[in-house]
Chains A and B, each alone.
Chain A
Amino acid sequence: MIVLKIAFRNIFRQKRRTVFTILSMFGGFVLAALFIGMADGTYNQIINKFTRNQMGHIQIHEKTFLDRPSLYKTINNFKKIDKELQNIDEIDSLCPRLYSAGLASVKEKSTGVRIIGIDSKRENETTQFNNKIIKGRGFSDIDSHEVIIGKTLAKILKAGLNDEVVIVSQGADGSIANDLYKVIGILETGDDITDRISFYLNLKDAQELLVLEGKVHEIAITIKKLSNVYKVNNIVEEKINNPQLSVEPWQVFAKSFYLAMKADKEGMWIMLLIIVLVVAVGVLNTVLMAVLERQREYGVLKAIGTKPFQIFKQVVLEVNILAIFCMIFGIGVAFFINSFFSTHAIATFKDIAYGGMKFNSMYAEINARSFYIPAITVFLAANLVSIFPALKAAKTEPAKSMRIH
C-alpha cells in the first residue's frame, strides 16, 4: 500500500522525465496498434479481392480434380447440390464453373487459353463478374455464342469487341470440339495470369462445346463472414455428404496464396521489435536516471527496515502505473485513428502489386489484436527494462549511498 503510494507519487516528481517515458510507451503503443490495424486491413482486403471477387471462399470439386485436373472429373449433380445448399444461412451465394483448355484464334493470331464456362447471372451474384468487364458488356441471358476474354489475351490475339474467335478443344466424347464466338466483353481482374488466359463462355455454350451436358467442374461459394470459413466448410461437407467430392476452404485450395499471406504477416514481428526497442530505450533511460537520483532515498528506506523486494516493487510499480495510463490513452487514440482509416482509405502514390493484383488504397481494420498485441508488447518491454534499475535500487547499500564526505 505505502509502496504503491510512493510509486504513484514519484510519477509526478520529475514531470519532464515522466512525459518522456509516457511518450515512448504511448508512441510505441499507438504506432503498433496502427501498424497492425493497417496490416490486417490490407491483408483482409487482399484476401477478399482474391476470394470474394474471384475464387470464392469455399470450393467443391471432384476429389482429385485440383491435383490432376481433367475434363472427365466432373460434378454431375449440380442442381441437387445447389438445392441442398440453398438454406445454409452463412452462405452468401454460389456458382458453377466448367473448365477446359483450348486454342483460340483470331485471324492469323492464335494462343492457348483456359475455357471457363460460367452461369453469368450466378457468377455475377457470387463474384461480381460484370464489375471486371472494362470494355463491352456481360453475357446476354440467352446463350448466343458470346465470349468474354481477358485484357492481355485480347492484346495477344489482337481481338476487339465484335471480333470472331475460333476455339479448338476436345469434347468429352473424344471428338474434336470447335466453334465460333463473338467477343462481347474484355475483362480485367488485376491478376496477371487470369487476364492472359481467360476465355469465358456461357455455361450452356461450354457444356455443348465440351459435350458435358449438365455437368460442371467446380462450385464456388462465398460466405457472409470470412472468419467463419472453416465452420461453413464443415456444414457444406456434411450437407452434400458425397465421398467423391471434396469441399475445401480457400486456405486449402489456394494454399500457396494462403502461405504467402501468412509469411507476409510475419513482417509484423519486425515492427513489434522496433517498438520494443523504442519503449525499452525510453523507459530504461528515464527509470535508470530516476533510480540513480534517488539512491539516498532508497538508502534511508533500507536503513529504517524496508526490504529489498519492497524497493524493487516500488520501481516496477511506478513503470506499470505509467504503462497502464499510456494504454488507456493509447487505446482511445489508436481506436480513433484506426476507425478513421477504416472508412477513409490511405491512397498510395503508386499501385502496390501483390500476387499479381494491384492495389492503390489501404484501409485499416479495427480488431482486438491490434490493441492487445501492442499492449502486451509495451508492458513486457517496459517491465523487462525496469528490472535492471529496480534491482539496482533494491540493492542500494545504505551506508554507501548516504555517505556525505
Chain B
Amino acid sequence: MEYNENNLIITKDLKKTYKDNGVYVNAINGIDITINSGEFTAIVGPSGSGKTTFFNLISGLDSLTYGKVWLNSKLISDMSGKELSDFRRDNIGFVFQAYNLIPVLTVEENIEYIMLLQGVGKKERHKKVLNILREVGLEGMRNRVPTKLSGGQQQRVAIARAMVSEPSLILADEPTANLDSKTGTELLNMMRRLNETTGMTFLFSTHDKMIMEKARRVITLKDGLIEKDEIKA
C-alpha cells in the first residue's frame, strides 16, 4: 500500500451491508478514498446515500463488512473495541447532528470531558477550555447548562469539545441539519476559520447546497458509492 505521510484517512474497497429484519441493505458499496491532513472536506449526498455509515466506518463506531481503513497510519479496521475506544478519544473529535452534549454537565464540563478521560491536569484543562471558548465565541458561557443555550450555541460547544484536545480529525455528521440556514452558515464559517488557523482536518457531511459551498473539497455519495470528487479553488 502506497503511503504518504500527508495521508490522514485511507479506505480500501470499503463495504458495509446491514441486515435489517432479514433484508440486506448495502449501505456502502466499495469506497476507495484518501483524505489528507488539513483538508476541509464535505461528504454530500441525499438522505440514505451512506454519509453517516461512511463516517461510522472510518471512525470505528461501526464494524465494516469488507475492506480496510487507515487513520493516522493505523489500520483501525483491525482494532479491538478497547483499542478503538482509546484511539477515538485521542484522534477524533466528534460533532453529531443533535444531542451532542451531556445535559447534566455545564459547558465547561462537557468540553473538558475528554481531557478528564485522558487524565489532563485541572489547570491545563481550565486554560484550554477558556481558549477554545474564545475561539468559538462563547466566552462567559462556561457555567451554563446545554438546555440554556440556543441550537447554534450548542453546536459550537460540540465543536469546542471536539477540538479541545487537538485530535487529528474533526468528524461532523450533518452539524447544521438542525439549525436555520443563517446559523448553519455562521457555524460553517467558523469551522472553516478554525481549520485555517489550526490546520486541523475537518470532515463534515451535509445535504445542504449552501453549506457544501463552504468546503474546499466535496465528495458526493450516491447509493454507497462515490459519484463525484471535486476540489474547489
A interface, CB within 8 angstroms of B: 1-2, 5-6, 9-10, 12-13, 296-297, 300-307, 397-399, 402-405
Q: Are B47 and A300 in contact, CB atoms less than 8 angstroms apart? A: no
Q: Which of B52, B82, B98, B114 is within 8 Å of A304, CB to CB? A: B114
Distance in angstroms between the alpha carbons of A38 and B47 in the assembled complex: 67
Distance (whole angstroms) from the CB of A299 to the closest CB of chain B: 9
Query: Given contacts A296-B99, A305-B114, A405-B48, is CB(A6)–CB(B88) below 8 Å?
Result: no
The smallest C-beta distance from A319 to any residue of chain B, in angstroms, reads: 16
- Minimal Cβ-Cβ distance residue in A for B105: A6
Complex CA gap A309/B62 in Å reads 19
Closest 4 CB pairs of A and B: A305-B89, A9-B104, A399-B62, A399-B56
Tell me, in angstroms, the Cα distance from A13 to B145 when the chains sit together. 13
Whether B85 lies near A300 (C-beta < 8 A) is no
- Alpha-carbon distance between A1 and B105 when the two chains are bound, in angstroms: 13
B47 to A, closest residue via Cβ: A405
Query: Distance in Å from the Cβ of B183 to the closest Cβ of chain A?
Result: 19
Q: Select from chain A the residue with minimum beta-carbon distance to B48.
A: A405
Q: Which residue of A lies closest to B178 (CB)?
A: A404
Counting CB contacts under 8 A, is B113 at the interface? yes
- Using Cβ atoms and an 8 Å threshold, which residues of chain A touch B61? 303, 398-399
**Residue numbers in B under 8 Å from A297 (CB-CB):** 99, 102-103
Q: Chain A: which residue is nearest B96 at the CB level? A: A402
| Most B C-beta atoms less than 10 A away, residue of A6, A296, A399 | A399
Closest CB of chain A to B105's CB: distance in Å?
A: 7
Q: Can you list 26 A-B pairs with a CB-CB distance of less than 8 A?
A: A2-B113, A5-B105, A6-B102, A9-B104, A13-B103, A13-B104, A296-B99, A297-B99, A297-B102, A300-B99, A300-B102, A302-B85, A303-B61, A303-B96, A304-B89, A304-B114, A305-B117, A306-B117, A307-B82, A307-B85, A397-B62, A398-B61, A399-B61, A404-B52, A404-B97, A404-B98
Instruction: Pick from A10, A297, A301 the residue with the most CB of B within 10 Å.
Output: A297
Q: Considering only CB atoms, which chain B residue lies closest to A295 in the complex?
A: B99
A313 to B95, CA, bound (A): 25
* Interface check B86, CB cutoff 8 A: yes
Q: Tell me, rounded to whole Å, the shortest Cβ–Cβ distance linking B71 to chain A.
A: 14
CB-CB under 8 A for A10 and B56, given A2-B113, A5-B109, A302-B85:
no
| Distance between B107 CB and nearest chain A CB, rounded to angstroms | 14
**Complex interface: chain B residues within 8 A of A2 (CB):** 109, 113, 116
* Closest A residue, CB atoms, query B88: A305
Interface residues of B in 122-160 (CB under 8 A from A): none
Q: Report how far A13 CA is from B147 CA in the complex, Å.
A: 12
Chain B contributes a number of interface residues (CB within 8 A of A) equal to: 30
Q: Find out whether the CB atom of B102 lies under 8 angstroms from the CB atom of A303.
A: no
Q: In the complex, what residue of chain A is closest to B63 when comparing beta carbons?
A: A399
Q: CA separation between A192 and B118, bound complex, in Å?
A: 76
Chain B contacts for A300, CB-based, 8 A: 94, 96, 99-102
Q: Indicate whether A403 sits within 8 Å of B105 (C-beta atoms), given known contacts A296-B99, A300-B100, A304-B114.
A: no
A300 to B104, CA, bound (A): 14
Bound: A13/B97 CA distance, A: 23
CA distance A303 to B96 in the complex (A): 10
Instruction: Give bound CA distance, A67 to B102, whole Å.
Output: 75
Q: Which residues of B contact A1 (CB under 8 A)?
A: 116
Whether the Cβ atoms of A305 and B47 lie closer than 8 Å is no
Could you tell me which residues of chain B, from 67 to 121, have a CB within 8 Å of some CB in chain A?
82, 85-86, 88-90, 94, 96-105, 109, 113-114, 116-117
CB-CB nearest in chain B for A400 = B62
Tell me, in angstroms, the Cα distance from A12 to B145 when the chains sit together. 14
Residues of A within 8 A of B88 (CB): 303-305
User: In the complex, which residues of chain B have a beta carbon less than 8 angstroms from the beta carbon of A5?
Assistant: 104-105, 109
> Please, which residues of chain A bring their CB within 8 A of the CB of B59?
303
Given contacts A12-B104, A404-B98, 5 further A-B contacts (CB under 8 A): A9-B104, A10-B104, A303-B59, A303-B96, A306-B117
Residues on the A chain within 8 Å of B109, using CB: 2, 5
Most buried by A among B85, B114, B116: B85
Chain B residue with Cβ nearest A301: B102
Give the residue name and chain of the A residue nearest to B117 (CB): A305
Residues of A within 8 A of B161 (CB): 304
Q: Which of A6, A305, A404 interacts with B104 by CB under 8 Å?
A: A6
Residues of A within 8 A of B97 (CB): 404
Q: In this complex, what residue of B is CB-closest to A398?
A: B61
- Taking CB as reference atom, which chain B residue is nearest A12? B104
Let me know if A304 and B94 touch, CB within 8 A: yes
How far apart sit A404 and B89, CA to CA, in the bound complex (Å)? 23
- Distance of B48 from chain A, by nearest CB (Å): 7
Contact of B85 among A6, A13, A305, A403 (CB under 8 A): A305
